[in-house]
Amino acid sequence: MARRMLIAGNWKMNGLRQSLGFLEEIRPAAHSRRNVDVLLAPPATLIVSAAEIAGPVKIGGQDCHIHPSGAHTGDISAEMLRDAGASYVIVGHSERRADHGESSELVRAKAEAAQAAGLVPMICVGESESDRREGKAEAVVGEQLHQSLPGSTAYVIAYEPVWAIGTGLTASLDDIAAMHAFIRSKLPDGATTQILYGGSVKPANAADILSLNDVDGALVGGASLKAADFGAIIEAAP
């Protein structure tokens, strides 16, 4: 089965209700690309409103708790995200791993909670600049995969080299191709699993990145905040 392209936008801690006009602006691009899935992960405060007007755009959460409910002030469960209109959730983003000390074991538990709630987890992996400089990129990413993957293969992988997130730096096409091939070789259902690239993806480099054999889409950060840029990335998908 051919893998579909998935272009996902992660708004991170950005966006107010007035920002939702973005969805109306990108709907034409999402409508026109029948072979490309488009996903937006706004902050949790906007999921319900976004889902109501999303049209062909899928909506996702940016994180979830490992439990479906309970005394966890400030947390959001996968069930709550699903109830709000989400169909995906990002887990293990490098900013969660760094800012909140999330381990790969916790990421796996979140992915399992997401699947139990009927969400598709987007599991993020990626090495630091020092890891790559020291030749440990594959070892680090391989260990993250080993510890983060749930038993069920109903997930998406996002490879995001930590040093390329929000820095303007992008891994070379050869490096991206090599890491995506490596990741695919480590997955139990690698032939059909979508693997996205994230790390300063923008209109200027999207076409080249998305043309690589083992790249099945992009997880877009800063460029997903501008409808024109995100639309151009959607249009760049082969």
pLDDT, tens digit, 9 for 90 and up, residues 107-161: 999 999 999 999 999 999 999 999 999 999 999 999 999 999 999 999 999 999 9
The enclosing domain of 9 has a CATH number of 3.20.20.70
Helices (H), 85-221: 94-99, 104-116, 129-133, 137-148, 173-186, 203-210
Provide the domain count of the chain. Answer: 1
CA 127 to chain centroid, in Å, comes to 16
Residue with tokens 């730096």: 169
pLDDT band at 1 (very low <50, low <70, confident <90, very high): low
Active-site positions?
93, 160
Dihedral pair phi/psi, residue 230, rounded to 5°:
-65, -40
pLDDT, tens digit, 9 for 90 and up, residues 27-41: 999 999 989 999 999
Mean pLDDT of the chain: 96
156 DSSP β-pair partners = 122
Q: What is the C-alpha separation between 127 and 178, in angstroms, rounded?
A: 14
What does R_g of the chain's alpha carbons equal in angstroms? 16
Tell me the CB-side half-sphere exposure of residue 211, using CA atoms within 13 A: 7
The 10 Å Cβ neighbour count of residue 148 is 26
What is the reported pLDDT for 169?
78
Answer whether 53's CB lies under 8 Å from 23's CB.
Answer: yes
What residues make up the domain containing 86?
A: 5-236
pLDDT, tens digit, 9 for 90 and up, residues 152-185: 999 999 999 998 887 887 789 999 999 999 999 9
pLDDT, tens digit, 9 for 90 and up, residues 47-57: 999 999 999 99
